[in-house]
Structure 1
């Protein structure tokens, strides 16, 4: 479900996975009468990396169900150096049900780390920080930058709006000065070891989890994940 991405050599359908289910028991006569189900998957099995509740569902049916439940936070990533972490951040955004992922800078990004989850996750491209900031302002969404720069507040003690955009930088250099200046606030992840920074995709997962810890409903609750 991407607007702008490229395979960069990644296999079209992802790797063969050791989990999933075989053909629907009982054959075609026992198939469920539900348009969300894919006849090909019912006939041959479903080995995709999806939660059990989505087994045998068509991809567009899964996306439609996710769209009805997406969280109101967005994820944005600067893409100046073709960072290989972007795919992994997209995968985490899908796992934490982000509304959308925004790629700022280079249009092309490596999908390999996404493990096909970009098919279920909306992705939007912005030419530069100014274009991204204009979009965020029009949407009425504050931008929360994530970087260990002077003045950053530990994310577990920072204000984290329910409706917002979480903005992440490149592995190594972090966010550009323009991106930090475009943010309404800057948060960081408290660390206890000798390294200066976390891997970009790990940092993104930590902050998305912190947002969900505060704002998301638990699976199985009203309007939560499907049963």
Structure 2
């Protein structure tokens, strides 16, 4: 095996990314305080070609040097918008998306049991690093998905949680194990 060079990865250019079909999912960051987390979520959103990221409440928005530091250009490829109130945004998205919080709650669905319907758009809400997704936001969601954890900590970093949920959603809805052969350009069909 030989490590591939960047030019061998067949990555999309920003304009190609914007025109390419998207995974039918949006991410909603509910009062996320860490700019590095915001940037990392942008990178994961780019990797899975999500439709959009909504940055809500105190969540910082691009351009910002600390977001740019971890996003590595993904703020240019991934569509995003700011919404002051997460709850109002969910009211707007309710007609077009299945809305699920990523949180630990009574009655949550374990991620391994979560079965999204292929082709239907979803929205996943990720919350504040310490307080999680606000209860009033959870109350507006159609469900809550929980990532199983086996260690001593009770939570994952939100950027890690976003990556895990996006990977799981993509695998379950695309029917594929990988999006392309290594070293080839991803399909835009």
TM-score range with shorter-chain normalisation?
Answer: 0.7 to 0.9
Partner Cα distance (2:103, 2:153) in 1: 14
How many residue pairs get aligned? The number is 172
Q: Which of 40, 47, 65 is residue 95 of structure 1 equivalent to?
A: 47
Going from structure 1 to structure 2, the CA distance change for 1:134 and 1:192 (only over 3 Å counts) comes to same
Higher-Rg member (1/2): 1
Structure 1 counterpart of 2:135: 177
CA RMSD of aligned residues (A): 2.4
Partner Cα distance (1:172, 1:108) in 2: 16
Structure 2 counterpart of 1:225: 186
Structure 2 counterpart of 1:62: 16
Structure 1's unaligned 5+ residue stretches are 1-18, 22-49
Structure 2-normalised TM-score? Answer: 0.80
Give the stretch that moved more between structures: 168-177 or 73-82.
Answer: 73-82
More strand by share: 2
Partner Cα distance (1:85, 1:160) in 2: 25
**Highest RCO, 1 vs 2 (Cα 8 Å, sep ≥ 6):** 2
Structure 1 counterpart of 2:153: 195
Contact in 1 for aligned 2:11/2:186 (Cα 8 Å):
no
Structure 1 counterpart of 2:108: 152
Give, in angstroms, the shift of residue 145 of structure 1: 0.5
Structure 2's unaligned 5+ residue stretches are none
Structure 1-normalised TM-score? Answer: 0.68
Partner Cα distance (1:173, 1:107) in 2: 14
Structure 2 counterpart of 1:13: none
